[in-house]
Amino acid sequence: MRLDKEQIARYERDGYIIVEDVLSASELETLRTRTEDIATGRVDVPENILEFEPGTATGERRLESLRKINEGGKFDDVLGAHAHHPVILDIVTDLLGPDIKVYGDQCFVKPPGGIEKTYHQDSPYFTIEPMALVTAWAALDDVTLENGCMYVVPGSQRNGPLEHSEAWMVGGRQDMKIPDSAFDRATEQPITMKAGSVSFHHSLILHRSGPNETPHFRRGYATHYMSARSRWTGAAENKPQYELVRGFEFEGCV
């Protein structure tokens, strides 16, 4: 499953594309089961990679209260194997080139009643240049307007990084968001998908997700890919080791 010229042109213009039927039913079930096993503690991972919904009681471990698993692929072989999915890598190769590393991964659980995520870009949080990473966002459940789909502002990746200058509270933790005054929200588009489909979006595209107003989960597994020719821009002593998943290493790069 490779992209054609029209799909690549659409990605370069809009900053995202959707590819249907990437994951099989068995692959979906494997990832769903693993997220539940991690949430409930049946599979052991570091506690600090788990982020729970605001108001969750201390020590409460269940899928219904889990908001996000950060960098699960680094600590669990089942999640880690997803970054090597051959169809996803073929598509990312079409968008980034032949030499690819994994910057990181996040599983967004979005349980019933799960909160929104306000407008932001990914690259300002990533210490990588150029700011041209590709996120493969795999739908583990059907993604609808009602259960908190992602919204994007098509073409916004071409405007570069914006200031995330407005405070946004996630329970007791302060995060930041891009002010609505910085862009035209009327141009946003929802990304709805069937389970098994994958959206591929640029790390500078403006995006958000709504709250989950249904009794069902809206799980999505996002893997962030970068060119192996990219450069680390943070402090040298903090530079992680990034996994090469296709192609070759390059001296002086990430």
pLDDT in tens, 122-140: 999 999 999 999 999 999 9
Q: Is 106's pLDDT higher than 90?
A: yes
Could you give the 3-state DSSP secondary structure of residue 13? helix
Residue 178: its pLDDT value, please? 96
3-state DSSP percent of the chain in helix, strand and coil, to 5:
25, 30, 45
Residue 59: its pLDDT value, please? 81
Query: Taking residues 177-204, what's their average pLDDT?
Result: 96
For residue 94, what are its two tokens?
A: 């079409």
Tally of CA atoms within 13 A in the half-sphere of 9 that contains its CB: 3
**Percent of the residues in the chain that have a pLDDT greater than 90, as a whole number:** 91
What does pTM read for this prediction?
0.96
DSSP label at residue 183: S
At residue 80 the predicted structure's pLDDT band, cuts being 50, 70 and 90, is very high
For domain 5-246, give its CATH number from 3.40.50.300, 3.10.20.30, 2.60.120.620, 2.40.240.10.
2.60.120.620
Count each helix (H run) and each strand (E run) in the chain, helices first: 4, 16
Q: Is 55's pLDDT higher than 90?
A: no
For residue 39, what are its two tokens?
A: 């949430």
Residues 6+ apart with CB under 8 A from 195: 23, 28, 139, 140, 141, 142, 143
At residue 10 the predicted structure's pLDDT band, cuts being 50, 70 and 90, is very high
- For the segment 220-251, what is each residue's pLDDT rounded down to a tens digit? 999 999 999 999 999 999 999 999 999 999 98
Residue ranges covered by each domain of the chain: 5-246
CA distance 87 to 66: 28
Q: Is 191's pLDDT higher than 90?
A: yes
Q: Is 173's pLDDT higher than 90?
A: no
